[in-house]
């Protein structure tokens, strides 16, 4: 994507594959963001008052709208990003999966929870935890999945009863406008709004929101957290990854090879949970590499219909990919496919399989976010685990073995937020489980069942009496005899369980 400024507040968006005009966007002035947020804050009160069932009905109508307008959304998505039709076709269905789940789960998620009394003498109290939505949730979304990433977190926030202020990437602003138009077209209230722009607008969104959901690079995530800390605004950060894949000697090699190729090349490698490095046990290394090369050679590169992977988002992303490949080749790696940018228009880079790689190379240690697949031979499972964990990132991983229990044991040795056994990326569709990163790959998690709604809420504890008799005059009954009696009774009750457990 490239944006050409025509006037100070309007830009033309170009398709990175063809250079054709995809549309125009009007940038939001940072000074206008407080007004937009104030409008959302006002509308949110009525949205919360509808209750979980009322909001679920609106979300259901929106799901129907997304399904009915899928072709329109995907055509604009291709025009804006240069994706292949295969890649573009994944985004709306993912949103429908998320919507379908939260439409069903939101009532349970928002229901107050009763809690037991911690000690018998407190059983005269009823304890309940209520979930109250934060008024305005700011969602700062990336460019790699402009449809899915714009809404996959917004859905949980809207279900909770929050209003959402969406700031899409300035590289892909057009699809976000279509999504917001669809929200209003299906009769939903004005609790979903846009702020279009770059850094200054992002800062204004952070300054005017009650919670921030950010998806993007680690470096930008640090800046988001620093900005949010000024107002003690809570954040959830889903950041970069360098996801490893481990192939054991007893793996189904064809399955593993095809999974590696799809996991690495899907969306031209521009996926936070893509396969970015593979460690293969020595006995099956040659067989695995041959199967990978065969699969990659069948891929068709181009935008739109009939292609497997499309363009990279812009020239800067091509430059990162080329730098990683060139660095690897200079240090002794070999490119079995690709390895050099083709002549011709568009921000394309060929799917590139690298072998003879090691951790001295950027392709094994830095996030590439491009269509590369570096494969390293290892002599043992221990070496594979050590190298997989030798990274500042910890988003997700994959382990391939016909022995599922063995693979699970290895999975639990990997320092990351999710591990797929005999598959890749599938955890992203498991909305009942959390998706979050360790180390520099993020803080917090998206999804996670009811937690995917509750994360956007504040907890409020309400304690009410079970009986009408209160402490009365005992509040300040400070005679020495009364005080000694009270201390003895409370200590005895509080220590009864520890004394039993300590025996």
Q: DSSP characters for 359-400?
A: TTSHHHHS---SSEEEEEEESSHHHHHHHHH-SSEESEEEEE
According to the model, what pLDDT value does residue 355 have? 98
According to the model, what pLDDT value does residue 499 have? 76
Distance of alpha carbon 471 from alpha carbon 423, whole angstroms? 60
Phi/psi region, residue 248 (left: phi>0; alpha: psi -120 to 50; beta: rest), is beta
The class of domain 243-428 in CATH terms is alpha beta
According to the model, what pLDDT value does residue 476 have? 64
> How many residues does the structure list for the chain?
503
Q: Up-side HSE of residue 73: CA atoms within 13 Å toward CB?
A: 26
According to the model, what pLDDT value does residue 20 have? 97
Which residues contact residue 389 at a Cβ distance below 8 angstroms, ignoring those fewer than 6 apart?
413, 414, 415
Distance of alpha carbon 117 from alpha carbon 11, whole angstroms? 60
Which residues, listed in sequence order, are joined to residue 446 by a DSSP beta bridge? 435
How many other CB atoms are there within 10 angstroms of residue 127's CB atom?
Answer: 16
Ranges under pLDDT 50 in the chain: 4-7
Cite the active site residues.
Answer: 238, 272
The encoded tokens of residue 158 equal 């809207």
Distance of alpha carbon 133 from alpha carbon 151, whole angstroms? 17
Distance of alpha carbon 291 from alpha carbon 295, whole angstroms? 6
According to the model, what pLDDT value does residue 469 have? 65
According to the model, what pLDDT value does residue 5 have? 45
**pTM of the complete model:** 0.93
How many other CB atoms are there within 10 angstroms of residue 20's CB atom?
Answer: 10
**Where are the chain's structural domains?**
10-239+448-458, 243-428
* C-alpha to C-alpha distances, 347 to 35, 90, 313, 324, 340, nearest whole angstrom: 38, 21, 7, 16, 13
Q: What is the CATH number of domain 10-239+448-458?
A: 3.40.605.10
Classify 272 as helix, strand or coil.
Answer: coil
């Amino acid at each position: 994507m490239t944006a050409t400024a025509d006037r100070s507040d309007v830009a033309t968006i170009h398709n990175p594959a063809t250079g054709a005009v995809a549309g125009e966007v009007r940038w939001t002035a940072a000074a206008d963001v407080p007004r937009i947020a104030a409008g959302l804050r006002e509308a949110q009160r009525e949205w919360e008052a509808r209750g979980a069932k009322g909001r679920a009905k609106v979300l259901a109508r929106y799901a129907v709208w997304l399904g009915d307008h899928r072709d329109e959304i995907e055509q604009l998505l291709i025009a804006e990003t240069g994706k292949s039709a295969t890649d573009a076709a994944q985004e709306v269905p993912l949103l429908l999966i998320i919507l379908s789940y939260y439409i069903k789960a939101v009532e349970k998620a928002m229901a107050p929870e009763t809690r037991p009394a911690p000690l018998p003498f407190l059983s005269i109290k009823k304890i309940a935890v209520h979930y109250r939505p934060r008024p305005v949730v700011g969602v700062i979304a990336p460019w790699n999945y402009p449809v899915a990433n714009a809404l996959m977190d917004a859905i949980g926030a809207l279900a909770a009863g929050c209003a959402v202020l969406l700031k899409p990437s300035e590289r892909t602003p057009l699809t976000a406008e279509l999504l917001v138009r669809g929200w209003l077209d299906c009769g939903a209230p004005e609790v979903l709004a846009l702020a279009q722009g770059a850094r200054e607008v992002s800062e204004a969104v952070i300054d005017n929101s009650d919670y921030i959901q950010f998806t993007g690079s680690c470096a930008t995530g640090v800046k988001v957290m620093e900005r949010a800390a000024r107002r003690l605004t809570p954040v959830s950060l889903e950041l970069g990854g360098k996801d490893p894949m481990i192939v054991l000697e007893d793996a189904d090699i064809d399955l593993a090879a095809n999974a590696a190729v799809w996991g690495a090349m899907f969306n031209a490698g521009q996926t936070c949970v893509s396969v970015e490095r593979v460690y293969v046990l020595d006995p099956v290394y040659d067989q695995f590499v041959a199967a990978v090369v065969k699969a990659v050679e069948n891929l068709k590169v181009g935008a739109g219909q009939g292609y497997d992977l499309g363009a990279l988002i812009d020239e800067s992303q091509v430059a990162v990919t080329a730098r990683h490949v060139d660095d690897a080749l200079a240090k002794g790696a070999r490119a079995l496919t690709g390895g050099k940018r083709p002549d011709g228009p568009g921000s394309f880079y060929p799917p590139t399989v690298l072998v003879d790689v090691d951790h001295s190379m950027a392709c094994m240690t830095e996030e590439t976010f491009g269509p590369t697949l570096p494969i390293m031979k290892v002599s043992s499972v221990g070496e594979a685990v050590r190298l997989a964990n030798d990274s500042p990132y910890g988003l997700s991983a994959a382990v391939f073995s016909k022995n599922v229990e063995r693979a699970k044991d290895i999975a639990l040795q990997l320092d990351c937020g999710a591990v797929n056994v005999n598959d890749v990326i599938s955890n992203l569709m498991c909305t009942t489980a959390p998706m979050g990163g360790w180390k520099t790959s993020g803080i917090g998690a998206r999804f996670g069942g009811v937690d995917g709604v509750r994360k956007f809420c504040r907890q409020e504890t309400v304690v009410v009496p079970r009986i009408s008799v209160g402490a009365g005059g005992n509040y300040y009954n400070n005679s020495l005899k009364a005080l000694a009696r009270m201390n003895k009774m409370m200590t005895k009750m509080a220590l009864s369980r520890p004394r039993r457990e300590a025996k």
